[in-house]
Chains A and B, each alone.
Chain A
């Protein structure tokens, strides 16, 4: 079997597995978020919070809940890292306190569902920070994303009210009923295949020729599974999902890709169920699926063709890839992780072909909506749908409607603000970093070190860092030394603003939609469940992203890939 055929078969198997669970999981999540009943453990949790899970919230109250919870998350995680030095060795593994700028960066990163890491896991974070801090945010930041998506869907589904549900109930249900059960099963699958799960410290094991190796222990499998399922991406080890203890073989590799995609795709079914028309969900699914498949096919093509002088000399694109995954498995992982807000890697993006690196960048620049992060993918895509409906409305001269709601001035202003936030952060911070004196010193692949002396890859390293941060991805062109005060601070800000400012607009949009009375469907209504609309949506996404980022992409990956 050729490696290309193996890659195509893996992609086929993945699509089949996702199709199999699409309906059951999507329907289950729809029940989770609309059920009247509370589980016993949930009641116990609501009592400890002191929240009434049945109290309906309007959008400002829903937002305040999210912000309060996230502020608490940042503070807790920051403190946990700052006190690591005084924790007992069994909890800290002997590591000292994390510096203030790096602790801020990491706290922002994990609360914002980004998991950008300017540290090396096995050399900085002990059991307490990893398991009590980082892994917990992997759960709850994902649950927050799902809650916001569900709130927006309720905005479409409800009328003549401003009420969007209860944040605490959505947060707790997403965690307890969706993320936890899948994580328990998934973690055991990973351990059965060879991922580690223990609380040993750093210990020595023998070597065949004598001497010893030092090995980290840790609750790796339990963290690995939620890192993928919650589209978080922060590795226990520096090598992330390329490390054999996180991702032991080719089967777990495909399983982890499946975990990344399963909730974002299934949420389109949940959306269809909740708005009372599953076909609307299929149109969104088709849009996401088309982009994801197209990007993956392109990535496989350029990686198998191994463009680039060094890769041509080597006879293949295996730099920064593992033998057990090969080129195919790594290519699928790379597009999946950047089209969602995951940022986990099983091979290193900086060593991809020039065009391959560009595909990962473009995937994030689309706003991570195909299928996107858990929750954030769906709400990002629905905002794009609002914009696509608006464009279609301009073409035919009708007031645009989507799902029976008028897209008026207020709605389109909110959607426009939403799509402006991340490009502003990405391009602004990148320009600033390139213009200042010292931030460019962090670049690894400088102009002097490149075969044609272009320095395009070095620019891509900086552009990638802010694209990844502001879009809450977390993967990196790892050559960039990001553990400096400048990058820790600016990327930290980009992550927080890139996560929470768009949420403000989404929730305001949801509130505004929920207050409307539904518009009856007429012969002139744009049929948003048809392939024509899915096509229009794909076009709108690609054109808006293209217009925004083309100049920056031309300076980086395109210059590298075409030279």
Chain B
């Protein structure tokens, strides 16, 4: 009995030593080497792909953000700013409506395809987006009606960007044609021509839009 206890203890001690050595290799040396190379070779990307306008940080090109007015609706939710292209709906984690896109918790709605709540959300979004942009409800594309997986999706579909163009042009006192042309220039094709979907990065588009509006 004694020998089996001490044998077990010796074995677990060997296991612990193995774990500690491999922790040094995989948990210290490996991440430090990768971080070192990444920080030198891909400094901007490794640190979050931050975009700056006039030297001031305006966010990360990888992450969605909100473009809202200070005013709130009757439920206390901020109203979208008509001067900007709007991102996809976000259901990020436990965030309340007021702090969406604040980023501390990323995540989806997890609502099921047969969920009453999701069905109501979709119908509400369709009505809201149509009214906000002055378009027919049937013309609102699917990415404007569904919450993204991350809750910080940086992109919208080209269709949703084009749908917003007239409203954005009017709010900024710009000719519609110019804003539409701006959208077309910001459509990113599929990676290598066939991977994923076409998309428009909302932050980059809005930065270009503001430059255009400010002349």
Among A154-162, A445-453, A508-516, the stretch that binds chain B is A445-453
Tell me, yes or no, whether A322 is within 8 Å of chain B by CB: yes
Tell me, yes or no, whether A207 is within 8 Å of chain B by CB: yes
Closest Cβ of chain A: how far from B77's Cβ, in Å? 16
Docked CA distance A199–B146 (Å): 33
Tell me, yes or no, whether A492 is within 8 Å of chain B by CB: no
Q: Are B15 and A318 in contact (CB under 8 A)?
A: no
Q: Of the candidates B25, B67, B112, which one forms a contact with A180 in the assembled complex, judged by CB atoms under 8 Å apart?
A: B25
Q: Are A68 and B114 in contact (CB under 8 A)?
A: no
Residues of A within 8 A of B105 (CB): 120, 122-123, 238
Residues of B within 8 A of A70 (CB): 15
Closest Cβ of chain A: how far from B56's Cβ, in Å? 6
Q: Are A69 and B18 in contact (CB under 8 A)?
A: yes
Residues of A within 8 A of B151 (CB): 239
Given known contacts A136-B27, A348-B149, A200 and B47 CB-to-CB distance under 8 angstroms: yes
A297-338 interface bits toward B, Cβ cutoff 8 Å, 1 = contact, 0 = none: 000000000111111011111111111111011100000000
Tell me, yes or no, whether B203 is within 8 Å of chain A by CB: yes
The A-contacting residues of B in range 63-115, CB under 8 angstroms, are 63, 65-68, 81, 84, 88, 92-93, 101-115
Tell me, yes or no, whether A351 is within 8 Å of chain B by CB: yes
Q: Are B146 and A239 in contact (CB under 8 A)?
A: no
Tell me, yes or no, whether A1 is within 8 Å of chain B by CB: yes
Tell me, yes or no, whether B133 is within 8 Å of chain A by CB: no
A325-357 interface bits toward B, Cβ cutoff 8 Å, 1 = contact, 0 = none: 110111000000000000001111011111001
Q: Are A346 and B149 in contact (CB under 8 A)?
A: yes
Tell me, yes or no, whether B58 is within 8 Å of chain A by CB: yes
B12-48 interface bits toward A, Cβ cutoff 8 Å, 1 = contact, 0 = none: 1011111111110111101101110111011001111
Residues of A within 8 A of B114 (CB): 308-310, 354, 445, 450-452, 454, 456-457, 560, 563
Tell me, yes or no, whether B5 is within 8 Å of chain A by CB: no
Q: Are B103 and A214 in contact (CB under 8 A)?
A: yes
Given known contacts A209-B84, A219-B31, A457-B115, A9 and B110 CB-to-CB distance under 8 angstroms: no
Q: Are A68 and B15 in contact (CB under 8 A)?
A: yes
Among B166-174, B178-186, B192-200, the stretch that binds chain A is B192-200
Q: Are A239 and B152 in contact (CB under 8 A)?
A: yes
The A-contacting residues of B in range 104-139, CB under 8 angstroms, are 104-119, 121-123, 126
Among A240-248, A262-270, A279-287, A496-504, the stretch that binds chain B is A240-248
Q: Of the candidates A65, A243, A316, A445, which one forms a contact with B112 in the assembled complex, judged by CB atoms under 8 Å apart?
A: A445
By secondary structure, the B interface counts as mixed
Q: Are B199 and A222 in contact (CB under 8 A)?
A: no
Q: Are B109 and A322 in contact (CB under 8 A)?
A: no
Q: Of the candidates A41, A205, A451, which one forms a contact with B57 in the assembled complex, judged by CB atoms under 8 Å apart?
A: A205
Closest Cβ of chain B: how far from A372's Cβ, in Å? 23
Closest Cβ of chain B: how far from A117's Cβ, in Å? 11
Residues of A within 8 A of B111 (CB): 310, 319-320, 350-351, 444-445, 479
Residues of B within 8 A of A217 (CB): 47-48
Q: Are A322 and B123 in contact (CB under 8 A)?
A: no
Docked CA distance A289–B67 (Å): 46
Residues of A within 8 A of B1 (CB): none
The B-contacting residues of A in range 159-199, CB under 8 angstroms, are 168, 171-172, 175-176, 180, 183-184, 187-188, 191-199
Tell me, yes or no, whether B164 is within 8 Å of chain A by CB: no
Q: Are B31 and A51 in contact (CB under 8 A)?
A: no
Docked CA distance A90–B192 (Å): 40
Docked CA distance A352–B194 (Å): 23
Docked CA distance A243–B90 (Å): 13
Given known contacts A320-B109, A457-B115, A209 and B45 CB-to-CB distance under 8 angstroms: no
Q: Are A209 and B113 in contact (CB under 8 A)?
A: no
Tell me, yes or no, whether A417 is within 8 Å of chain B by CB: no
Tell me, yes or no, whether A125 is within 8 Å of chain B by CB: no
Tell me, yes or no, whether B156 is within 8 Å of chain A by CB: yes
Q: Are A219 and B150 in contact (CB under 8 A)?
A: no
Given known contacts A176-B25, A199-B35, A451-B114, A250 and B107 CB-to-CB distance under 8 angstroms: no
Q: Are B108 and A242 in contact (CB under 8 A)?
A: yes
Docked CA distance A226–B48 (Å): 20
Q: Are B63 and A244 in contact (CB under 8 A)?
A: yes
Closest Cβ of chain B: how far from A448's Cβ, in Å? 8
Given known contacts A69-B15, A122-B106, A251 and B192 CB-to-CB distance under 8 angstroms: yes
In the complex formed, the residue of A with least CB distance to B67 is A209
Docked CA distance A345–B8 (Å): 39
Q: Of the candidates A45, A122, A245, which one forms a contact with B25 in the assembled complex, judged by CB atoms under 8 Å apart?
A: A45
Tell me, yes or no, whether B11 is within 8 Å of chain A by CB: yes
Tell me, yes or no, whether B142 is within 8 Å of chain A by CB: yes
Q: Are B107 and A120 in contact (CB under 8 A)?
A: yes
Q: Of the candidates B49, B57, B112, which one forms a contact with A351 in the assembled complex, judged by CB atoms under 8 Å apart?
A: B112
Docked CA distance A347–B15 (Å): 37
Residues of B within 8 A of A325 (CB): 196-197
Q: List 18 A–B pairs whose Cβ atoms lie within 8 Å, in order of A's numbering.
A: A45-B22, A197-B34, A208-B53, A213-B59, A213-B101, A222-B31, A239-B149, A239-B152, A243-B150, A244-B150, A310-B113, A323-B156, A348-B149, A351-B118, A354-B114, A444-B111, A450-B114, A479-B112
- Identify 18 new A-B residue pairs, CB closer than 8 A, beyond the known A237-B106, A316-B142: A41-B25, A50-B14, A76-B23, A120-B93, A208-B65, A213-B59, A239-B152, A242-B108, A249-B196, A251-B196, A319-B118, A319-B147, A320-B146, A321-B148, A325-B196, A329-B196, A345-B149, A444-B111
Which A residues are within 8 Å of any B CB, using their own CB? 1, 3, 5-6, 9-10, 13, 41, 45, 48-51, 64-65, 68-73, 75-76, 120, 122-123, 131-133, 135-136, 139-140, 168, 171-172, 175-176, 180, 183-184, 187-188, 191-200, 202, 205-209, 213-217, 219, 221-223, 226, 237-239, 242-245, 248-251, 253-254, 306-311, 313-326, 328-330, 345-348, 350-354, 357, 444-445, 449-452, 454, 456-457, 477-479, 560, 563
Pairs of residues from A and B, 5 with the lowest C-beta to C-beta distance, nearest first:
A250-B196, A308-B113, A316-B142, A242-B149, A326-B197
